[in-house]
Copies of this chain bind each other. A is one copy, B any other.
Amino acid sequence: MKIRAAVLVLLVGLLCASCWAQGFKAQPAPTNVPGADFPRLNSDMSATFRVQAERAQKVQLLLGLTPYDMVKGPDGVWEVTTKPLSPGFYYYEISVDGFNSNDPGSRVFFAAKKEVSGLEVPGAESDFFAIKDVPHGTVRTMWYPSKTTGETRRIFVYTPPGYDQTTSRYPVLYLQHGFGEDEAGWSDQGHENFILDNLIAAGKAKPMIIVNENGLPGRDFQSPSPPKPGTNERRDFVRDVARYFMNDPYTSFDKIVSRDLIPFIDANLRTIPDREHRAFAGLSMGGAQTFRIGFNHLDQFAYLGAFSPAIDISDISKDYNGMLANAENINKELRLLWLGIGTEDFLFGPVKESHETLQKAGIKHVWVESSGAHVWTVWRKYLADFAPGLFQ
């Protein structure tokens, strides 16, 4: 699987380079608001940003690890061009004299518990989530009552092409976002609907329903604090994050899914309401929720996917529901356990060790060690890799 991923990355890289070389013209990014000329993608795959700030002293583009200083022109317009960017999706901010906010030229996406500018850099490898001339499914925004929280909660539900034209029943994938994002993430940032439309049209995935809930119930959850500058706490911080989402504050989401959400979906959509036709997957925090909810409810799910999950299963006392001592039963119950992470991901260490722990315990799983960091560019690909293995 590791080799397969590496070959894929190489092929995509070659295709992409050839596509961009063939007369690419500078153009507004696809994530721009309608009519905005900037941000602009250049032929060398760099991006040029412009913002108006007549009286500002210092303006920076916060994209990637190192801020870019923007330069003021005579008309109060600040500009900067980035280094060449790999195709993919980037969150970014503009910082004006210490005020960090959005670029008015771009659409925003919910991330880091706020609305954050997004930049899509397209390439040949964007093809799998492009809007093509194929039948399109629907993304439904629905509201349902949760006994666990006492709220009316909002969910997003993808129904596949043909759902409204037939009386067929469908399997369901419960698919979760990461920390600081919300139930809109998998459609807005992830394009789950176009990924599935294209896979289904190509006969590569079974038509399925996808449900996205908000994995951060309650408003006051905080992630672990990053290390103080100047100290050498990096390793501990990574372990903190990897373990944090395994802890008890996250039990309420388990109850929401298993007691409130699944019964609502099965009562209100044409599902096949059994474990053999139900999957759970998620990214980062949602990957930890996959382990917690999946292994606590093997009666409800037969397929699990953890994309760059915030997990640390290197210690037998930290496993889920005693899973490490029950390999035989788990291997009998689960049709697929999928675990993947990029080698540049800050969580790579604990996740790779978790994979090795699972291996030692004899728990069968698909292990994908891909290129890439802790970003949507990777998670979209993981969905396209994971979905064809479901409900077969």
Contacts and interface: CB of A to CB of B under 8 A. Distances in A.
A385 interface: no
Contacts of A378: none
Contacts of A113: 33-36
A161 to B, nearest CB: 10
A142 B131 CA distance: 12
A221 B35 CA distance: 8
- Interface size class of chain A, counting residues whose CB lies under 8 Å from the partner chain: 35 or more
B115 A56 contact: no
Interface in A173-218: 182, 187, 216
Contacts of A94: 99, 101
Contacts of A98: 52-56, 76
A59 B55 CA distance: 11
A97 B138 contact: no
A368 interface: no
Interface string A101-117: 11111011010011100
A86 interface: no
Contact of A99 (B53, B139, B220, B268): B53
A100 interface: yes
Kindly report how many copies of this chain are found in the complex they form together. Answer: 2
Interface in A266-316: 268-269
Residues of A contacting B: mostly: loop
A25 interface: no
Interface in A132-170: 133, 136, 138-145, 152, 164-165
A243 B33 CA distance: 26
Contact of A100 (B104, B136, B220): B104
A332 interface: no
CB-CB nearest 5 A-B residue pairs: A54-B98, A53-B99, A101-B101, A56-B97, A136-B143
25 contacts: A33-B113, A35-B221, A36-B113, A36-B114, A51-B99, A53-B98, A54-B97, A54-B98, A55-B57, A55-B97, A55-B98, A96-B99, A99-B101, A101-B101, A101-B104, A102-B115, A136-B142, A136-B143, A136-B152, A138-B141, A138-B142, A139-B140, A140-B140, A141-B141, A164-B269
